[in-house]
Amino acid sequence: MVYLSLCIHNHQPAGNFDFVLKDAYKQSYWPFLKILSRYPSIKLTLHNSGYLLDWIAKNRPEYIELLGKMVARGQVEVLGGGFYEPILPVIPDEDRLGQIGLMSERIELMLGKKPRGMWLAERVWEPTLPTTLKAAGIEYIIVDDHHFIKSGVSPEKLCGYYLTEDRGNVVKVFPGSELLRYLIPFRTVDEFEGELKKISDNDDVSGIIYGDDGEKFGVWPGTYKLVFEDGWLESFFERISSLDWIKTLTLSEYVEAEEPQGRVYLPTTSYMEMGEWSLPREASEAYSELNKAMENEEGGELVRRFLQGGTWRNFFSKYSESNWMHKRMLQVSSRISALRAKATAVENLAEAEEALYRSQANDAYWHGVFGGLYLPHLRTEVYRSIIEAETLIGTQPLGSAIKIEEADLDADGYDEVVLRSAELSLFVSPRNGGGLFELDYLPAGLNLCNTLTRWEEAYHSRVEELCKEGTDDGDGTKSIHDLVSAKEEGLEEHLIVDSCRRAAFKDHFLSINENLDDFSRNVHSTLSDFHTSPYNVEKAKKGLLLEREGSVAGAAVKVAKSIEGVGGHSFKVDYAVECSGGSKEQEAPGSVLFGIEMNLILPCCDGPACFYNIEPTELGSLEVGLGSKGAIDGVERVRLVDEHTGIVISIDLDRAVSLWRYPIYTVSLSESGFEKIYQGSCLLFLFPFELKSAVKEELSMLVRVEKFEGE
């Protein structure tokens, strides 16, 4: 007799599009549960993440009704977890307990049973977690057998469950089988039975554990036809039901039926693919190549046992946008924690906590085979939640007051400065070109600088090969880890890598002969490092003064920019660019271009509801989409309009300038293939500047963010 414990994890990220949830429910969650309900002898452990569970309860109550019946008759055990699927090790202890407690309460309220075990988001394990889990009332979790192999457990002993502890706090840990993850549902039921028979022949193995995503049953490309239309799932359940040497158990039943296999101490790790994705491009490619080489090398499997790759936290160093969001979330968590510690009741604290937990949803903080960080709407939801929490606890000043804060928010060793008004928050990094890295419009809960840098990815070489050779889908249904396809042509044209993180009010000196195409592709020649180097900063009553002196093509130049709040939803940026002449070693080149770069994004991205309104032009006012590219001279006003959400960003200049604009597209990997994604729009305001003594040019920009009332 072999015990088989099947564990299914269904998840949708907070902020995902409603149509995505509807499709996933129709294609996977509901048909899976209905078919399972027809096989009452099949025991299964199920996890629906909190955001998805709430959506189902509100929109598809028949699922909760059927699930409740299956729970009551003991066929299904429901797992808990962090409600919004946070990566537990990277959020504060208080929030870990809050997230797990919220999920347990919601499950008990809906289904009448408090969960004993939990699903660990992305199986990200760190050795101190048992203390948290024990305090949260969690008895067991499931991770991958990969975790156990990396701790030295022999692959032949990966069955049942083990005990682990931190400072005497004991939890049970199940190793999910990699073999079964790649068999189910991508191989035939006969192949599954054959592999399980081999396992059953081993007298030392009492059971095997399967734990994986429910989306592979209908949502992943090609799986709906395989699993439901072609009858794979019913055949699978039929076969298991007919075999008298297999007995299915929920994970709790397994704990009751069997003794632990022993004690284990798991290393800091996640599943195998995460170790590859979290590494920088060069290291990621090397790790992947080594893994593949060892698959066919004699003795290679022994080497693979000890290949680790990177850890999940690497994403904070790989993507500065991920790190910034994470540290902003921690800032809010710290403020809420301070309010919790007060003896008196704090208004709106419960709502602020919920918003904080929502901002900890893991999906927007990393990227692998799923879109994750590369999906603007997921980043938007994180910022919306952060801003909502801050608003609820009264972070902003009232009326016309301006609040200035200074702290090292992103843990880079240097202070950032925050200007807060009643409706806006501006986050400035003097260290990084004096740029504006976050512009929050509180009434809509939006970060309008939520752009993404065009990063170099290991899979970009596969995009180049694919564009040369064409898509090869091969035969049969593949795991998403094996899919290679392009969702559109011409992706190779967008494989562009930026030199630094995108922001607003980055300052450039360019050759007078520079052009938009080269600048947009980041192959232009730069005459200075003002856009990346530190600025000195002084705080004023209503804002900041940022200054830097540097060399531009041999000439000594000073740039001063003041940022001042002038109203609840407006701020002004005044520039003064001054030259004191050429150097003794070389003659200054004369005229150059001074450019002010702004990177902005609206909720509807480059959709039809979003457009520029630019004036004046030769044709008067010009309206073009945010996905357009072009150069216009004599511009005095630009508006970025989102008619769908009713938001407009207005930029008024006190002198006519040239405007270069282009969309920022990235090429990223998703479960359905490679795709181009709009990450924001870059605007570069330009005017000529003479590199000779006693020249001073000034420019004033008034930026307003407000509700758009239409024409």
More confident residue, 27 or 206: 27
Q: Which CATH number fits domain 506-707: 2.70.98.10, 3.90.650.10, 3.30.420.40, 3.40.1180.10?
A: 2.70.98.10
Model confidence pLDDT, tens digit, residues 610-632: 999 998 866 567 889 999 999 99
Dihedral (Cα; 103, 109, 112, 117), 10-degree rounding: 10
Confidence band (pLDDT; 50, 70, 90) for 480? very low
Pairing of strands 647-670, 695-707: antiparallel
Burial of 30 (0-12, 13-18, 19+ CB in 10 A): middle
Q: Is the pLDDT of residue 343 over 90?
A: no
Q: Is the pLDDT of residue 472 over 60?
A: no
Model confidence pLDDT, tens digit, residues 127-157: 999 999 999 999 999 999 999 999 999 888 8
What residue spans define the domains of the chain?
2-268, 279-312, 314-447, 506-707
Q: Is the pLDDT of residue 474 over 50?
A: no
Output 191-198 pairs: Cβ under 8 A, ≥24 positions apart: 192/236, 192/239, 193/239, 193/243, 196/2, 196/4, 196/246
- Amino acid code (one letter) for 334: S
CA distance 654 to 701: 7
pTM, 2 dp? 0.94
Centre a 10 Å sphere on the Cβ of residue 38 and count the other Cβ atoms it contains.
9
Q: Is the pLDDT of residue 93 over 90?
A: yes
Helices 349-359 & 93-111, crossing angle to 10 degrees?
100
Model confidence pLDDT, tens digit, residues 17-70: 999 999 999 999 999 999 999 999 999 999 999 999 999 999 999 999 999 999
CATH 3.40.50.1370, domain 2-268, yes or no: no
Q: Is the pLDDT of residue 648 over 60?
A: yes
- Tokens representing 119? 């699903």
Work out the end-to-end distance of the chain between its first and last CA atoms, rounded to an integer number of angstroms. Answer: 74
Catalytic residue, candidates 193, 213, 690, 697: 213
Helices 232-242 & 189-200, crossing angle to 10 degrees?
30
* Mean of pLDDT values over 263-280: 94
Catalytic residue, candidates 77, 122, 215, 390: 122
213 is a catalytic site residue: yes
How many residues are listed for the chain in this entry? 711
690 is a catalytic site residue: no
